[in-house]
Amino acid sequence: MDNNIPEPNRLGELFDPKAELLISEHFRPHWSQAGAVVFITFRTADSMPREVLDRWEREKQDWMRRHDCSMDRHWSEVLPTLEPKLRDQFKKEFNRCREDFLDTCHGECILRKPEIASIVAETLLHFDGERYRMGDFIVMPNHVHLLAAFASEDVLVAQCDSWMHYTARQINLAMGRKGKFWQQEPFDHLVRSPEQYTYLRKYIRNNGVKSGLTEGQYFYREYVA
């Protein structure tokens, strides 16, 4: 079976390394491909303490040294030059660190409030079927996970910026305050296989319970084809 032909219950296509791909650079690279399913994570500005981010920076640099990959360059410059297997190993290790820490729900956790979580949920669904196809998503107390597919390569970053800008404004209005709400850039990952797609759907579905939250402390939406 051609894995790039969407199955009846799959949101979109799988990443095709031979097809056209757009890599846009903000503070970090974002890979996008027309029709491909992408896993995206937003996190609130206070979800990751500065000391934790600094520690991870040191650990990433140390990882590169231990694998004889870098002596004088920043890890972010070296990562794109690594062999695919080594690059995947690096991403798997540090992505797991990030997700595990997010699930401990640090910070103010404003999104725990149902009325605030609903602002995010309604925003994600507002242009569903027009600008993008929205899959499973979960609004956790200090972060959001979602699966989506975009019709063209160049809309992912713009749409994420739009979601984050609008929800931040509406949440601040609802809370009667001002200031930065989200971390500057989301994390995104193009889905590579049916197994990974299934895993990510289960991860999103189970994220609230896995974190010890009860019903009403998170908002989960399941994609139905």
SS3 140: coil
* Cα gap 68→114, rounded to integer Å: 48
User: pLDDT value at position 213?
Assistant: 93
Q: Give me the pLDDT at residue 29, please.
A: 52
Task: Please state, in angstroms and rounded to a whole number, the distance separating the CA atoms of residues 132 and 53.
Answer: 32
Give CATH for domain 22-47+108-221. 3.30.70.1290
Q: Concatenated DSSP letters for 50-88?
A: HHHHHHHHHHHHHHHHHTT--SSS-HHHHGGGS-HHHHH
- Contact partners, residue 167, CB within 8 Å, separation at least 6: 119, 120, 123, 181, 182
Residue 27 is predicted with a pLDDT of: 47
pLDDT attached to residue 19 = 66
**What is the structure's pLDDT at 26?**
56
**pLDDT score for 6:** 46
pLDDT for position 1: 37
pLDDT tens for the chain, residues 1 to 225: 344 444 557 888 887 777 666 666 554 556 677 789 999 999 999 987 777 777 878 888 888 888 877 667 888 778 878 888 888 888 778 777 777 777 777 789 999 999 999 999 999 999 999 999 999 999 999 999 999 999 887 888 889 999 999 999 999 999 999 999 998 878 888 898 999 999 999 999 999 999 999 999 999 999 998
Please give the pLDDT value at position 168. 97
